Amino acid sequence: MEKNYTDVLIIGAGIAGLTSAILLSEKGYEVSILFDSDDQFRSSSYLAQGGIIYKGINDNPELLKEDILLAGNNLNYVPAVEKLVENSSDIVKKILIEKIGVNFSKNNGELEFTGEAAHSVKRILFVKDYTGKAIVDGLFDYIKLKNLPIKLFPEHYAIDLITLSHSTSDQYSMYRDDHCYGAYAYHVKTNKVITFQAKYTILATGGMGQIYLHTTNPGNLYGNGYAMAQRAHVKIINMEYTQFHPTSLYSDHGNSFLISEAVRGEGAELVNIKGEPFMKNYHPLGSLAPRDIVARSILFEMQKTDAKFAFLDISRIRKKIKERFPSIYKKCLENGIDLNSENIPVVPSFHFQCGGIKVDLEGETSLNGLYAIGETSCTGIHGANRLASTSLLEGLTWAKFASDSIDKKIRGNEFEQYIQLSDTIKEWEYTGREEYDPILVKQDLTYLKNIMWNYVGPIRSKKRLRRALSDITNLKNTFDDFYYESMLSIAILQLRDAITSASIVATAAWKNKISMGCHYRIN
């Protein structure tokens, strides 16, 4: 069995994973980063358009705290929100502006701010409409420039966490506190499973958008982190709070593409198929209402007008749309929409998971040796609904907190009690010998996506959720035999994680009968 040893194993290469890797490597630790494609830029962080929160003009931490709590329906974990608002601006400045040198937009040499829905003031730093790309490019460039001791492992799909209770030959494991020793990962090129052992492991695997029929997420996000955590009995919370972005591009011949909230922040307005503004009928903030309200309002308006989409009326900002939002302009043009004269057809799509693996104020999970940061975690920052542009901010700040915590633990020799037991880790057990049938996998995934969109989507009901749980359970029972009989492949592993993640979300939505934020039940 091929093994790799490292101080810290990081699974995921978005803003959270890359930042923690840089900070830990600069403290002198060996770091390994796994990501599941050959494209190191395939993450939600990379696709982020809007920006990242900083300290705006006439802004202060208390005001930002109020906005976060209001958007989250006051279900937020207040200590986490307070830690974020008190520390984040300094972290953005020291890491992204000074260390990495991200070229945020400036006006006469001064940082320029934009506004987004539910923000009291303009406080969001941006780089046109590809802020995430600018940040992720900068983080990777910094790693190369500084020649940091970070090993990159592309095309490695994490299968399962290595734990004391399930992955070692220690016969007394039931008497000890469980511990994470790394992860088993499937190497796409060799079709082999490689053991990655580490003193500490960080899950930075992003979200789960591909379990839904409509999503703004990249094509590799099937809830890998949530599924691995579930199988390792790590505590997961708030998974019913699935945020649907109100405005993704609607097209009969193109994939979903996020139309940034910043477009509305700059002055665009939602109108129905007849060209009539409608958001004031649903919320006093109109098109800048919180995301969950906007998403549902669009769906209600689509039902009223028997339409497949609504429009984003950009007439007020048409003259600057190409310069301010070049990626959106280009993508619309590729789909036959000329923004010089046309408006943008939009439809809600799954965008962000507000819940996740429960972590403390340093990013540590309920499993010793395991941290989770970014979208795959639940710090409690978002409550029942995420405030715009807090996602990159949370990933960055908790990467800093987690890195500091791991550094402290290693220096305090907290891992020493587990070193001897790390020699008892078992080899991965290959079970399947049959070639998998791609038609079956494709059909199962399509079926799952439709279940989640129709029954566990933006608008839920008792009957829909009951049907979802029944259908997902039946699918899982059928798939389990298929999984153990088939040879490993990335498609098989993605479907496995998708089914597990869907079950987690549907179960959480069924149990919570209180309609709040982006968990909306009509009964």
Q: Domain check: are 329 and 401 in the same one?
A: no
Measure the CA–CA gap between 293 and 286, rounded to whole angstroms.
10
Among 349, 373, 395, give the residue marking a domain's end.
349
Domain boundary, last residue among 300, 323, 349:
349
**Is 106 within the bounds of a domain?**
no
Same domain, 300 and 414: no
Same domain for 267 and 285: yes
Query: CA torsion sign, 445 to 451 to 453 to 457?
Result: negative
- Residue 200's pLDDT is what? 97
State whether 228 and 94 are in the same domain.
yes
Mean pLDDT throughout 175-200?
94
Based on the fold, state whether residues 234 and 306 are members of the same structural domain.
no
Strands 192-203 vs 3-11: parallel, antiparallel or unpaired: parallel
Place of tokens 């907190």: 401
Residue 74 lies in a domain: no
- For residue 523, is it within any domain? no
Give a yes or no: residue 174 inside a domain.
Answer: yes
Which residue range forms the structural domain that includes residue 443? 438-487+489-511
Residue 28 lies in a domain: yes
In a domain, 179, yes or no: yes
Could you tell me if 408 and 288 lie in one domain? no
List pLDDT tens digits, range 26-72: 999 999 999 998 776 679 999 898 899 999 989 999 999 999 999 99
Q: Assess whether 163 and 221 both reside in one domain.
A: yes
* pLDDT at residue 168, rounded to an integer: 85
Residue 121, domain member (yes or no): no
> What is the identity of the amino acid at 418?
Y
321, 349, 377 - which closes a domain: 349
Catalytic sites, residue numbers: 291
Structure token pair of residue 488? 């490993």
Please check whether residue 175 is in contact with residue 168, taking contact to mean a CB–CB distance below 8 angstroms: no
Q: Judging by beta carbons within 10 Å of its beta carbon (0-12, 13-18, 19+), is residue 409 exposed, middle or buried?
A: middle
Instruction: Read off the CATH number of the domain in which 252 is found.
Output: 3.90.700.10
Who's near 447: CB < 8 A, 6+ residues apart? 471, 475
Give pTM, 2 decimals.
Answer: 0.93
Contacts of 359 (CB under 8 A, 6+ apart): 365, 371, 372, 373, 377, 378, 379, 398
pLDDT at 41: 65
Which residue in this structure is represented by tokens 């494209």?
A: 39
Residue 311 and residue 213 in one domain: no
How do residues 392-451 score in pLDDT, each as one tens digit?
999 999 999 999 999 999 999 887 777 777 788 988 988 888 888 899 999 999 999 999
Q: Would you place residue 459 in the very low, low, confident or very high pLDDT band (cuts 50, 70, 90)? A: very high
Please list, residue by residue across 177-196, b when 16 or more beta carbons sit within 10 angstroms of its beta carbon and e when fewer do. Answer: ebbbbbbbbbbbeeeebbbb
- Looking at the structure, do residues 161 and 208 belong to the same domain, yes or no? yes
Beta-bridged to residue 187, according to DSSP, are 156, 192
Q: Which two tokens stand for residue 350?
A: 């799954």
Note whether 335 and 360 are same-domain residues.
no
% residues pLDDT > 90 (the chain): 84
Please enumerate in sequence order all residues whose Cβ is within 8 A of that of 337, keeping only pairs 6 or more positions apart, or say none. 251, 344, 345
pLDDT averaged over every residue in the chain: 94
Kindly state whether residues 378 and 338 are assigned to the same domain: no
Same domain? 90 vs 167 = yes
Kindly provide the residue ranges of all beta strands, DSSP E only, lying in 241-362, ordered along the sequence. Answer: 242-249, 269-271, 310-313, 344-353, 356-358
CATH of the domain at 463: 1.20.58.100
pLDDT digit string, tens, across residues 241-263: 999 999 999 976 545 788 988 89
Overall domain count for the chain: 3
Q: What is the pLDDT of residue 217?
A: 92
Q: Is residue 460 part of a domain?
A: yes
At 420 the pLDDT is 73
Q: ∠ at Cα 76 (240, 363), nearest 5°?
A: 85
Q: What is the CA radius of gyration of the chain?
A: 22
**What tens digit of pLDDT does each residue of 95-133 get?**
999 999 999 999 999 999 998 878 999 999 999 989 999
Interatomic CA distance for residues 342 and 363, integer angstroms: 45
Q: What CATH number did the domain enclosing 398 receive?
A: 3.50.50.60
What pLDDT score was predicted for residue 291? 80
